[in-house]
Amino acid sequence: MKENKDIRVVIGMSGGVDSSVAALLLKEQGYDVVGIFMKNWDDTDEFGVCTATEDFEDVTRVANQLDIPYYAVNFEKEYWDKVFTYFLEEYKAGRTPNPDVMCNKEIKFKAFMEHAMSLGADFVATGHYARIAEKNGRVQMLRGVDDNKDQTYFLNQLSEDVLEKVMFPLGELPKSEVRKIAADHELATANKKDSTGICFIGERNFKEFLSEYLPARPGEMQTMDGIIKGKHDGLMYYTLGQRQGLGIGGPGEPWFVVGKNLKDNILYVEQGYHNDYLYADALTAVDVNWINPDLVGDAFTCTAKFRYRQKDSGVSVEKRADGTVEVRFDNPERAITPGQSVVFYDGDTCLGGGTIDTIWKEGKMLDYVG
Amino acid sequence: MEAIYLDHAATTPMSEEVKETVCREADAYFGNPSSIHSFGRRARKLLDEARKVIAASIHASDREIIFTSGGTEADNMALIGTALARRHEGRHIITTAQEHHAVLHAAEHLEKQGFDVTYLPVYENGKISPADLNAALRPDTIVVSVMFANNETGVIQPIAEIAALLRDHPAYFHTDAVQAFGSIDMDVRQLGVDLLSVSGHKINGPKGIGFLYAAQHVKLEPLLFGGEQERKRRSGTENTTGAAGLVTAVKHAAEKRQARAEAYGSYKEAFLNELKAENVAFSVNGLLEETIPSTVNLSFPGTHVEQLLMNFDLAGVAAASGSACTAGSHEPSHVLVAMYGKEDTRTMNSVRFSFGILNTLEQSQEAARRIAKIIKRLV
């Protein structure tokens, strides 16, 4: 068996605390660690400084502390073609995309992985909160032990082939412990705050950002019965179950987005968090990926997440011949959103997931959701 | 695994003699050459002697040597300083598309100030053509700047021919000799250049010091203002320890030029022969016969420069590309783009190897073997 020092692990370093600690842990375990910063998006801040520059500087500081070689690679073209184009297309289609899922699938565990392999890597590592386990000779992906940070939701499109060459050094740790390790080692990124939101939008106003790329078509807000309640700024700015930014006053319970009519450019709104229109009992998903395809039956029960950081819900899954799946919920679920991922779990094991396509209630497809 | 440094065109380590001089002089001559007291006088003496030796090395007079912080400042001064001084005589400047950015960006800066700049084309052999210069010359051309040898390909430019063309033209002729100075003997009178830039750290001298030769007749406006050192042309307390190191490096460059050229040339040859023996597919960028001995630029078909440099580094071979790379933004080398055009794949799969004081023949062969192994894995 190879000694750790002869095992090259290429780790994606973002300049954040998580990947910094992941690199540190690998280095402490004696691996031949190489750090890579991915530049996926070209942007400058208000001072004309490239926003990636600061993050890369943090990578260089940490890598020098750990005494590991580091490099920067550019995946702007791949990111634009595979992630950003998808992101815009989904918004154009009235759906709410999940660019992080696509970024993991197409960039981190494809373009980056290929690059790492060309550097003679035995493994690729990232600072994701997830675990990899070998059970009966099979490689599976488990949730990270920190329930609040578990990121398997975003990793649902990975395959066993890929996972065989992946390490997630943070999977066994709670976030608080990661922060502590960073502080104990005085890593340059120890006190850096976590990034929020979608990476290429950063701290900026989402609406403003989107309007730079897609023309906004303002239209009417209506109740499901056709009562006009005001104007919307463009359907793409709203997502199902949203309360903020509607600007509808008046008596009674608050208003929520319950659907979109793309053809007539109408945003449907209704009153009450638990409004009936927000509930569904089944969905279909496309682009379904099973991490260990042969270990999953054709029809089974398991748990599922319909959005990140949500508690699991009981579901029954039925595979269809065309590779899509039907998912029935044990209990009605609120604000299931087309374009988001549905991710399946058996206990701690992530089975895979897909993109939510259609939403159903009592055997009828809800065409008003968009 | 021994790390092999094949990037002497980026920078060189100080030679033992230079290190020794710098340490010695730092103590003995710490005074400010402008001071009235004995400490200042000793420093002044050192600086004057250094200037004399440096001037003699290029057959100039000591009044024609301006110490600068390095090649970049010398190049900036040569272009901007002369352009500003002669702006009433003309506003046309000629340079080439393959200059170092210290010249190119200075030229672009002047364009924004209203000067008119012509960038001469570069041919596949890595050279510019004197005929193109002749065609570009105008009565209002005030300065022509052509590098002595290119920093990425090592190709030597037709400096004497250009000087001949300019003999009867009022334009100043500047040459950036930063890469060439270590391997080519230079006589500024014979060459017919008016301005010439040299950097210390490229010739085993210290960083942060260099010089600009500006012939006596050259009008030059300063870029830095203050204590009016360097005969009002470059303010700022003189870098005396740097100058002490530089003069040692310049002396050695002159004394050892022949021996170094032969040694570095033999490393380069051994390196290329080993690559051939290993059946690596490559081509040389620029005319190999006309490169300075230390430098060669190779294209490896079917590879990508980022991937190559990272792999070389991980295998302990330090090399470089001319492409600017900040936080992963990768611009192809402007030199190779000038030679081949933007679409040519050679602009994205080429690496510069530059030999020097840190190398041996065996090392050069060993580096070639490591590179061969990587190329075979990648292609």
Facing B327 at nearest CB: one of A34, A50, A69: A50
Claim to verify: residue B233 and residue B317 sit in the same structural domain: no
| Rounded Cα distance, B45 and B62, in Å | 13
**Res A52: pLDDT:** 81
Task: Give yes or no for a contact between A306 and A340, defined as CB atoms under 8 angstroms apart.
Answer: yes
Instruction: Report CB contact under 8 Å: A39, B328.
Output: yes
Residues of A in contact with B326 (CB under 8 A): 50, 53, 56, 72
Instruction: Report CB contact under 8 Å: A53, B378.
Output: no
Claim to verify: residue B244 and residue B272 sit in the same structural domain: no
**Res A180: pLDDT:** 97
Q: Which domain holds residue B166?
A: 16-252
| Rounded Cα distance, B379 and B377, in Å | 6
H-type helices in chain B, by residue range? 16-28, 38-57, 71-76, 82-85, 101-112, 130-136, 159-166, 188-191, 240-277, 305-314, 334-340, 361-378
| Rounded Cα distance, B120 and B314, in Å | 38
| Rounded Cα distance, B120 and B158, in Å | 13
Residues of B in contact with A37 (CB under 8 A): 327-328
Smallest CA–CA distance, residue A118 to chain B, in Å, is 7
Query: What are residue A276's phi and psi, to 5 degrees?
Result: -55, -35
Instruction: Report CB contact under 8 Å: B326, A50.
Output: yes
Residue of chain B whose alpha carbon sits nearest to that of A14: B327
Residues of B in contact with A115 (CB under 8 A): 307
Claim to verify: residue B245 and residue B266 sit in the same structural domain: no
H-type helices in chain A, by residue range? 17-28, 51-66, 76-79, 85-92, 99-103, 112-118, 160-163, 175-184, 206-213
For B344-378, b where at least 16 C-beta lie within 10 A, e where not — what string?
Answer: bebbbbbbbbbbbbbbeeebbbbbbbbbbebbeeb
Claim to verify: residue A123 and residue A244 sit in the same structural domain: no
pLDDT range class, residue A111, cuts 50, 70, 90? very high
Smallest CA–CA distance, residue A73 to chain B, in Å, is 4
B378 in A contact zone (CB under 8 Å): yes
Q: Which of A271, A288, A306 is the last residue of a domain?
A: A271
Smallest CA–CA distance, residue A275 to chain B, in Å, is 49
| Rounded Cα distance, A246 and B54, in Å | 76
Claim to verify: residue A283 and residue A301 sit in the same structural domain: yes
| Rounded Cα distance, A246 and A353, in Å | 32
Claim to verify: residue A231 and residue A179 sit in the same structural domain: no
Residue A204 lies in a domain: no
Residue A311: DSSP 8-state: P
**Res A99: pLDDT:** 94
- Show which residues on chain A lie within 8 Å of chain B, measured between beta carbons: 34, 37-39, 42, 50, 52-53, 55-56, 69, 71-76, 115, 118-120
Claim to verify: residue B118 and residue B139 sit in the same structural domain: yes
The CATH number covering residue A232 comes to 2.30.30.280
pTM equals: 0.91
Catalytic residue among B314, B325, B378, B379: B325
Rg (CA), chain A: 22
Residues of B in contact with A71 (CB under 8 A): 306, 310, 313
Claim to verify: residue B202 and residue B311 sit in the same structural domain: no
Task: State the maximum Cα–Cα separation within chain A, in Å, rounded to a whole number.
Answer: 71
Claim to verify: residue A14 and residue A79 sit in the same structural domain: yes
Smallest CA–CA distance, residue B365 to chain A, in Å, is 22
**Res B250: pLDDT:** 97
Claim to verify: residue A239 and residue A116 sit in the same structural domain: no
A177-223 pLDDT, tens digit per residue, is 999 999 999 999 999 888 776 777 776 788 888 999 999 899 999 99
In total, the C-beta contacts within 8 angstroms joining chain A to chain B are: 48
Residues 325-354 of B with CB under 8 A from A: 325-330
Facing B306 at nearest CB: one of A42, A73, A76: A73
**Token reading at B63:** 């009044």
Claim to verify: residue B229 and residue B261 sit in the same structural domain: no
The CATH number covering residue A351 comes to 2.40.30.10
Claim to verify: residue B91 and residue B20 sit in the same structural domain: yes
Claim to verify: residue B156 and residue B278 sit in the same structural domain: no
The number of domains in chain B is 2
A250-to-A269, A274, A305, B136, B174 alpha-carbon distances in Å: 14, 18, 35, 76, 78
Classify A118 as helix, strand or coil.
helix
Claim to verify: residue B173 and residue B100 sit in the same structural domain: yes
| Percent of the residues in chain A that have a pLDDT greater than 90, as a whole number | 85
| Rounded Cα distance, B2 and A199, in Å | 40
A253-271 pLDDT, tens digit per residue, is 999 999 999 999 999 999 9
**Res B26: pLDDT:** 85
| Rounded Cα distance, A88 and A106, in Å | 16
Query: What are residue A59's phi and psi, to 5 degrees?
Result: -60, -45
A22-53 pLDDT, tens digit per residue, is 999 999 999 999 999 999 988 776 666 677 88
Residue A136 lies in a domain: no
pLDDT in tens, chain B (379 residues): 899 999 999 999 999 999 999 998 888 889 999 999 999 999 999 999 999 999 999 999 999 999 999 999 999 999 999 999 999 999 999 999 999 999 999 999 999 999 999 999 999 999 999 999 999 999 999 999 999 999 999 999 999 999 999 999 999 999 999 999 999 999 999 999 999 999 999 999 999 999 999 999 999 999 999 999 999 999 999 999 999 999 999 999 999 999 999 999 999 999 999 999 999 999 999 999 999 999 999 999 999 999 999 999 999 999 999 765 555 666 889 999 999 999 999 999 999 999 999 999 999 999 999 999 999 999 9
Instruction: Report CB contact under 8 Å: B329, A74.
Output: yes
Cα B169 to its chain centre, rounded Å, is 26
Q: Which domain holds residue A232?
A: 215-271
The number of domains in chain A is 3
Residues of A in contact with B313 (CB under 8 A): 69, 71
**Res B33: pLDDT:** 95
Residue A243: DSSP 8-state: -
A46-95 pLDDT, tens digit per residue, is 666 677 888 999 999 999 999 999 999 999 999 999 999 999 999 999 99
Q: Sign of the CA dihedral B9, B10, B13, B17? A: positive
Residue A349 lies in a domain: yes
The CATH number covering residue A62 comes to 3.40.50.620
Residue A17 lies in a domain: yes
Residue A201 lies in a domain: no
Residues of B in contact with A76 (CB under 8 A): 329
